[in-house]
């Protein structure tokens, strides 16, 4: 079994960090720093709590003046790259929000983001001074370093995973759009992925904004088309008609469906939690010219409350000739995941073609 991510923050890491700090700050109490960081209840702390414990311990053992403390971190940050060193931008978040520290904190976030990421640390600044911080983000969107440009988009995502939510941008994403406009043709895939993820966040609250932007952007360039497609992925899963049309998916109507035959089956039809089943599907596409299709299966997972929540799984996304058969199988695991826990009961499984239900069945999940 893989070690939990929080295990990267351990005594060896903290002692090594203390040793590096000692080379830049002769008065540093390395042993005291390590003991204080690891004080109980260290073992019970999860990832972000361990990160914050180390940050706060740095605050206690580095020079009390913020400028002097940052000077120590600047002296060693060239040797401090990778995910664990999110503690450096976290230090800025915790100790650098006073008005008198604004410019130094911006310099520090810009400097640290390429070595780990400042995407979480910028969010309290955004919540405190949104207009000023978005002006900074727009400035960063023109930076020559791709890490800094990515920060300008990733940091203002309304729904950044693991990060503080930004309710002001959930309500109104307009301040974010100039940054995304600036980055829509960025040469870095690393940056373009962030732009697409930001759009996908916005689409969950304001689909009309993303649809309008997609219509305006599509056809600009191949990199921008990739952003548009990836940024509209949640809208495609929901089969929003305007989006399906935009990407060329064939439309079907009740009187003129895209298929003439459809079937879906599971083997076995009764499964124990932790086991797998085989899903077999088949579609016969209506006669005519080539059509763009997206084939998915959806499972209405039973929740602890007894209610259901649907999750979709992609089977095929391509253009096929009219009259062709689209068939295949998929092994589906009913094993519990960190992101999904299974509960016994009848689970409805549906076969979807361009968002429309083509066939369905019921599987009984047991403990």
The radius of gyration of the chain from alpha carbons, rounded to an integer in Å, stands at 25
Report the share of the chain in percent with pLDDT over 70.
99
Tens-digit pLDDT profile for residues 95-138: 999 999 999 999 999 999 999 999 999 999 999 999 999 999 99
**DSSP symbol at 253:** B
* Residue 290 CA neighbour count, 13 Å, CB half: 5
Q: Check if the beta carbon of residue 165 is closer than 8 Å to that of residue 159.
A: yes
Identify any residues that bridge with 362 across adjacent strands, giving them in sequence order: 348
Tens-digit pLDDT profile for residues 245-297: 999 999 876 667 899 999 999 999 999 999 999 999 999 999 999 999 999 99
Of 241, 240, 219, the C-alpha closest to 228 is 219
Average pLDDT over residues 300-324: 96
Confidence band, pLDDT 50/70/90 cuts, at residue 338: confident
Classify domain 119-247 at the CATH class level: mainly alpha
Confidence band, pLDDT 50/70/90 cuts, at residue 302: very high
For 259-366, CATH number out of 2.60.40.10, 2.40.50.100, 3.20.20.60, 2.120.10.30 equals: 2.60.40.10
Domains of the chain, residue spans: 1-113, 119-247, 259-366
SS3 state of residue 363: strand
On the 0-12 / 13-18 / 19+ scale of CB atoms within 10 A, 357 is exposed
The pTM of the full predicted model, rounded to 2 decimals, is 0.90
Only one residue has tokens 């414990």, namely 53
User: What is the predicted pLDDT for the residue at 3?
Assistant: 82
């Amino acid at each position: 079994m893989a070690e939990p991510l929080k295990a990267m923050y351990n005594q060896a890491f903290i002692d090594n960090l203390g040793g590096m700090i000692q080379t830049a700050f002769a008065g540093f109490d390395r042993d005291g720093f390590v003991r204080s960081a690891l004080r109980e209840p260290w073992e019970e702390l999860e990832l972000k709590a361990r990160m914050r414990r180390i940050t706060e311990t740095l605050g206690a053992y580095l020079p009390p003046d913020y400028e002097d403390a940052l000077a120590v971190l600047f002296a060693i940050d060239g040797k401090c790259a990778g995910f664990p060193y999110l503690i450096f931008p976290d230090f800025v978040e915790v100790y650098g929000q006073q008005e008198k520290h604004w410019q130094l904190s911006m310099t520090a976030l810009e400097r640290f983001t390429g070595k780990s990421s400042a995407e979480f640390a910028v969010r309290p600044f955004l919540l405190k001074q949104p207009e000023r911080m978005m002006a900074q983000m727009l400035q960063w969107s023109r930076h020559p370093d791709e890490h800094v440009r990515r920060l300008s988009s990733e940091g203002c995502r309304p729904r950044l995973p693991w990060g503080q939510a930004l309710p002001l941008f959930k309500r109104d994403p307009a301040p974010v759009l100039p940054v995304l406009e600036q980055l829509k043709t960025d040469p870095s895939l690393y940056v373009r992925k962030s732009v697409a993820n930001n759009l996908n966040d916005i689409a969950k609250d304001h689909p009309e904004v993303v649809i309008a932007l997609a219509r305006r952007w599509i056809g600009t360039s191949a990199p921008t088309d990739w952003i548009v497609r990836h940024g509209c992925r949640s809208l495609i899963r929901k089969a929003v008609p305007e989006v399906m049309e935009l990407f060329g998916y064939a439309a079907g109507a009740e009187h003129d469906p895209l298929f003439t035959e459809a079937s879906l089956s599971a083997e076995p039809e009764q499964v124990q939690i932790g086991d797998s089943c085989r899903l077999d599907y088949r579609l016969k596409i209506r006669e005519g010219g080539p059509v763009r299709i997206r084939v998915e299966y959806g499972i209405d997972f039973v929740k602890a409350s007894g209610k259901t929540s649907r999750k979709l799984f992609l089977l095929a996304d391509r253009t096929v000739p009219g009259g062709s058969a689209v068939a295949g199988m998929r092994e589906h695991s009913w094993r519990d995941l960190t992101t999904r826990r299974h509960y016994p009961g009848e689970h409805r499984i549906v076969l979807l073609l361009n968002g429309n239900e083509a066939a369905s069945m019921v599987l009984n999940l047991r403990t």
